[in-house]
Structure 1
Amino acid sequence: MEISGYIALAVMGITLGLVGAGGSILTIPILVYLLQVPITLATSYSLVVVGSTAFIGLLRYRDHILFRKAILFLIPSALGVFAARRFIVPTLSNILGHLLLGQVLVILLIIFMGIAGYFMIKRPILDIQNHSHKKQNIKKSKVVLIGLALGIIMGLLGAGGGFLIIPTLVLLMHFAMREAVATSLFIIAINSFIGFVTNQSQFIASDWGNLKKYLTPSLLGMLIGLYIVKFINGEILKKSFGYFIWVVGIAILTKEFIL
C-alpha cells in the first residue's frame, strides 16, 4: 500500500505539470487512504507537498507570472489560509474533537473534489472568456471574496485550488491562459508556504522524515509532467482527470459514509 501511495504522488505531480491545476486535490486522499496519514495531519503535509510541487512548476513559467495583477487575489487568499490554519482548525478541534473534525474535513474534501471535477470537465476557459466574459466589467470585490474563500478552503484542506484560481484569473481579471497557469502556481506556492509556517511548530522529527519521502515522488512527477506536456493533448487529459476525481470522490463517500 505504501509503494502505491508513492506512485500515486508521482502521478499527482505529473498531472500538475501537465494540466497546471487540479492534481493537488488528490494529495489528501493519497496521504489518508494509501499512506495511512490521519486527515488532520495530512492537511499540513499536503500544504508542503503541494506548495513545493507548485514552486518547481512556476520556475518554468516564471516569465509569464503577472506579479502586480496577482496581488488583488493573492492578499485575500493568503489571509484566508492564515486564518484557517491559525484560528479555524484549532477552534474546530476544540469544539468538535479530533474524530469529528476528521469527518468534517472528509465531507469538505468530497465537496471540493466534486467542484474540481466539474471545472476540469467543462468546456475550455478560453472559449467562455471569448464569448461571454471578455467585455464584462467585474468589480474587484468579487475577486477579493473569491480569493478569501478559496484561501480558507486551502487552509482547511491543504489543496491548491488551481482549478478555481485559473478561471478567476482568466474570467474576472482577464489574464491570458498561460499567464493564469503561471500566476496560479505562484499563488499556490505562496499560500502553501504561509499555511505551513503558521503551524509548522506542531511538526515533530518523524513528520520531517515523512515529508522528505512524500516530496520526492511528487517533485519527480512534476518534472516529468513539465517535460512531456508538449507531447500530450492537455484538454483531453484535463477532462479525463476530472472524471477520475469524481470517481475517487464517490469511492471516498462510499467508504466513509455508506459501507
Structure 2
Amino acid sequence: MANELLSYILALVVGLSLGLTGGGGSILTVPILVYISGIEPVLATGYSLFIVGVTSFVGMLGYFKEKLVDIKLAILFSVPSMLTVWLVRRFVVHNLPDELLQIGTFTLTKDTALMSLFALVMILSAVKMIWFSDKADSEKIEQPNYKVAIGSGVVVGILSGLIGAGGGFLIVPAITLYLGLPVHLAIGTSLLIISLNSLVGFTGDFQHLTDIQWPYLLEFSLIAVIGVLAGVYIGKLTNAKKLKTIFGWFVLSLAIVIIINIIK
C-alpha cells in the first residue's frame, strides 16, 4: 500500500516534468514502475508508453490552445518515429531471449540490459538538461534541416521502443538546434510527437500485454495527467531553464540508484 501511494505521488512528478519541459517525465516512469510498483522491466516499458502517451497528449492540448504546436513538423518527425517504435516493440523487444550473453559466471539478462540502457539514456539526458540547456534553448538556424528531423525521428523511435520512453529529452534539443523553433513551441510540439510515438508503440505490445493491470495503469495515468496540467500552468509562471536544471540533477540521481541496483 505504501509503495502504491508513493508511485502515485511520483506520477505527479512525471506529469509535472512533461508539462514543464516537454520531456523527462517519460524516463522516470519505467524506474517508478519497476522499483516502486514491482512490475517487471519489459512489461513496465509497455505501461510507460501508455502513461506517457496519454499524459503528453493532454499536456499538448494546453500548448495547442496557445498556438505553440507545430503540426507540420510534428507529422514530419512522427511518421518515421512511429514506424520505428512500432517495429521495435512488435519484432525486437519481445523476441529477445531472456539471457543475452554469458561469459564465464557472468550472465547478461534481457531485463538487466534494458535497465542498463535506461540508466545510460537517463545520464545523457541529465547531462544535457544540467550543462547544455542554454545552448539548446538559445541557438537557432535560418534553414531548418528536415533530413535531420527525419533521422532524429528514427533514433527517437528506436529508443522509445527499447526503453519505453517518449524521447522528449531528444526531441526538444533536436527541434530547437536543427529546426530553429523557440523553446516553448518546441515543448508543445514535442508533447504531440511523444504522444503519437508512445501510443503507437503501445499498440505493438497488445498481443504480449495479456496481464495488464488496467485499474492501476489508468489511475497512474490520471494522476500524471493532473501533474502535466499543473506543469503547463506553472511553466508559464516559472523560469523553465532553472527547473530543467533541477530536474536534471534529480534524473542523474535516479540513474545512479538504478546502476547501484543493477550491480547488486
TM-score normalised by L of structure 2: 0.88
Please state if 1:104 is matched with 2:113: yes
In 1, Cα distance between equivalents of 2:43 and 2:179: 34
Point out the structure with the larger helix share.
Answer: 1
Q: Check the 8 A contact 1:10/1:218 in 2, yes or no.
A: yes
Q: Does 1:126 align with 2:137?
A: yes
Instruction: Tell me, yes or no, if structure 1 residue 115 matches structure 2 residue 121.
Output: no
Per the alignment, in what secondary structure is the counterpart of residue 231 of structure 1?
A: coil
- Equivalents in 1 of 2:221, 2:173: separation in Å? 27
Instruction: Look up the SS of the partner of 1:199 in the other structure.
Output: coil
Offset from partner CA, 1:46-102 (integer Å, 9 cap, x none): 0010001101101111132222233332111111101111111122147739x8110
Partner of 2:16: 14
Q: Secondary structure at the match of 1:96?
A: strand
Distance in 1 of aligned mates of 2:175 and 2:158:
18
Letter of the 1:126 partner, please give it: D
Task: Name the structure 1 match of 2:179.
Answer: 173
Gaps of 5+ in 2: 102-107
Superposed CA deviations along residues 11-62 of structure 1, whole A, max 9, x for unmatched, are 1111221222212111011111111111110000000100011011011111
- Give the counterpart of 2:206 among 185, 194, 200: 200
After TM superposition, give the deviation of residue 232 of structure 1 in Å: 2.3
The answer to whether the 8 A contact 1:119-1:164 is kept is no
Match of 2:163 among 146, 157, 168: 157
2:226 corresponding residue in structure 1: 220
Cα shift at 1:227: 2.5
SS at match of 1:219: helix
In the superposition, relative to structure 1, how do residues 206 and 167 fare at CA in structure 2: closer, same or farther (>3 Å)?
closer
The range that moved more, 3-12 or 46-55, is: 3-12
Contact between 2:53 and 2:195, CA under 8 Å: does it hold in 1?
yes
The one-letter code matched in structure 1 to 2:249 is Y
Give, in whole Å, the separation in 1 of the partners of 2:210 and 2:75: 34
* Bigger shift: residues 12-21 or 100-109: 12-21
Kindly tell me: are residues 249 and 94 of structure 1, through their superposed partners in 2, closer, same or farther at Cα, counting changes over 3 Å? Answer: closer
Moved more, 117-126 or 1-10: 117-126
1:73 aligns with 2:77: yes
- Percent of pairs identical after alignment? 37
Q: Could you tell me whether the CA contact under 8 Å between 1:22 and 1:120 is conserved in 2?
A: no
Q: Secondary structure at the match of 1:201?
A: coil
Across the two proteins, how many residue pairs are aligned to each other? 252
What are the superposed Cα offsets for residues 147-194 of structure 1, whole Å, 9 maximum, x if unpaired? 111101101111111111011111112222222111111111111111
In structure 2, the residue corresponding to 1:61 is in which secondary structure? Answer: helix
Please name the residue that 2:25 is paired with.
23
Q: How far apart, CA to CA, are the structure 2 residues paired with 1:46 and 1:69?
A: 24
Q: 2:241 matched to which residue of 1?
A: 235
1:9, CA displacement in angstroms? 1.0
Gaps of 5+ in 1: none
Q: Residue in 1 aligned with 2:104?
A: none
Structure 2 counterpart of 1:36, one-letter code: G
* TM-score normalised by structure 1 residue count: 0.90
> Which residue number corresponds to residue 63 of structure 2?
61
Q: Judge conservation of contact 1:10–1:217 (CA < 8 Å) in 2.
A: yes
Question: How far apart are the structure 1 equivalents of 2:57 and 2:117?
Answer: 25
2:46 maps to which of 40, 44, 47: 44
Q: Secondary structure at the match of 1:191?
A: helix
